[in-house]
């Protein structure tokens, strides 16, 4: 097991390369999910705004 982690003395390079790659993939998945959720939230807010906006305000009635 230790031999496997050492990678013939180049473990630091091999594992950081794999680590960086994994981090990039995880970040991309997380980022897409976050953006999708935020976009849905904004769409919901904007739909709500419009519904509220349709109600006459006091000024419009006057």
Candidates 39, 40, 45; CA nearest to 53 is 45
Residues found near another protein in the complex (CB under 8 A)? 4, 7-11, 13-14, 16-18, 20-21, 24-25, 27-29, 31-33, 35-40, 42-44, 46-47
Give the Cα-Cα-Cα angle 33, 27, 12 (nearest 5 degrees). 160
C-beta of 51 vs 55, nearer to another protein: 51
* Residue 56 CB, nearest approach to another protein (Å): 21
Q: Which is nearer to another protein, 2 or 61 (CB)?
A: 2
């Amino acid at each position: 097991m230790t031999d496997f982690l050492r990678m013939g003395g180049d473990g630091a390079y091999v594992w950081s390369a794999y680590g960086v790659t994994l981090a990039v993939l995880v970040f991309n998945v997380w980022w897409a999910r976050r953006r999708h959720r935020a976009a849905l939230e904004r769409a919901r807010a904007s739909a709500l705004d419009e519904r509220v906006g349709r109600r006459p305000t006091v000024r419009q009635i006057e």
